[in-house]
């Protein structure tokens, strides 16, 4: 199976921002405050994707945007002390219409992450430098297939 081609094809049909309702928020204290806040909410139903998830496996550049799936985005945002914004947010929270992003989660450092394959697809369709981060992650996945495939 040519899984890289499959993921690239998947990204033509599915996108984090185009396939899901997204709300943009501002974390005034930055992304570190977001990850610390998520780690302090063990009962919250969320999954980190995008740059923050890719950084664990294939660091590319310091993340500037958090992308998170959540069953209840508004509740999660309130618990994290985020402010809803129309532009210039540093966190995007999605209420996924699909169950896949919130299944087969990877727990690390007190946080929950989507599978690397989901992260790659979300980055391929993400804003700014996200597609370049996806390529770096896909390269890492090719070199470390035994570490992520189960």
- For residue 26, the model assigns a pLDDT of 96
15 pLDDT exceeds 70? yes
| pLDDT tens-place string over residues 63-94 | 999 999 998 999 999 999 999 999 889 999 99
CATH of the domain at 67: 3.30.460
- For residue 1, the model assigns a pLDDT of 60
Give yes or no for a contact between 44 and 70, defined as CB atoms under 8 angstroms apart. Answer: yes
56 pLDDT exceeds 70? yes
CA distance 61 to 14: 24
Q: Could you tell me if residue 24 is inside a domain? A: yes
| pLDDT tens-place string over residues 26-53 | 999 999 999 999 999 999 989 999 999 9
Number of folded domains that form the chain: 1
Q: Could you tell me if residue 149 is inside a domain? A: no
| pLDDT tens-place string over residues 114-142 | 999 999 999 999 888 999 999 999 999 99
- Tokens at residue 102, please? 């919130």
Q: Could you tell me if residue 150 is inside a domain? A: no
Cβ partners under 8 Å of residue 128, min gap 6: 64, 65
17 pLDDT exceeds 90? no
For residue 41, what are the domain limits?
A: 3-144
Q: Could you tell me if residue 30 is inside a domain? A: yes
Q: Could you tell me if residue 12 is inside a domain? A: yes
């Amino acid at each position: 199976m040519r899984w890289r081609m499959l993921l690239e094809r998947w990204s033509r049909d599915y996108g984090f921002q185009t396939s899901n309702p997204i709300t943009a928020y501002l974390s005034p204290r930055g992304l570190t405050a977001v990850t610390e806040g998520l780690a302090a909410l063990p009962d919250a139903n969320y999954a980190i994707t995008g740059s923050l998830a890719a950084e664990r496996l294939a660091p590319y550049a310091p993340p500037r945007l958090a992308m998170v799936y959540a069953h209840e985005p508004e509740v999660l945002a309130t618990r994290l002390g985020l402010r809803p914004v129309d532009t210039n947010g540093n966190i995007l929270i999605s209420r996924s219409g699909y169950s896949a992003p919130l299944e087969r989660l990877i727990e690390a450092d007190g946080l929950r992450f989507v599978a690397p394959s989901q992260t790659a697809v979300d980055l391929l369709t993400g804003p700014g430098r996200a597609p370049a981060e996806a390529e770096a992650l896909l390269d890492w996945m090719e070199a470390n297939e035994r570490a992520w495939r189960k």
